[in-house]
């Protein structure tokens, strides 16, 4: 057995902070970062809910019509 402590994977907060630092260093605007996060989050929820807008909107806490608008806005494939 090794005497060195086991390396734990970075926690979500630490990973998010590192991503923020990287985006700021690259000059990414806040609106761009938020848009990309929203698109990614919605895409993943839709994938898990097999494209079902009703289930996805409930999971996201959005009205179904708002979700449909975001899907159109971000050109998300379902």
How many other β-carbons are positioned within 10 Å of the β-carbon of residue 37?
12
**Residues 42-77: tens digit of each pLDDT:** 999 999 999 999 999 999 999 999 999 999 999 999
What structural domains and CATH numbers belong to the chain?
29-78 (1.10.10.60)
CA-based torsion, 13, 26, 33, 78: positive or negative: negative
Q: What pLDDT score was predicted for residue 66?
A: 98
Q: What pLDDT score was predicted for residue 4?
A: 56
Name the band, by pLDDT with cuts 50, 70 and 90, for residue 5.
Answer: low
**Whole-angstrom distance, CA of residue 35 vs CA of residue 74:** 8
**Whole-angstrom distance, CA of residue 46 vs CA of residue 15:** 23
């Amino acid at each position: 057995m090794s005497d060195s402590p086991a390396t734990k994977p970075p926690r979500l907060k630490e990973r998010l902070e590192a991503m923020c630092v990287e985006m700021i260093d690259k000059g990414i605007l806040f609106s761009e970062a938020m848009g990309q996060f929203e698109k990614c989050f919605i895409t993943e929820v839709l994938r898990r809910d097999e494209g079902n807008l009703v289930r996805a909107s409930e999971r996201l806490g959005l009205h179904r019509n708002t979700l449909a608008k975001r899907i159109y806005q971000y050109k998300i494939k379902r």
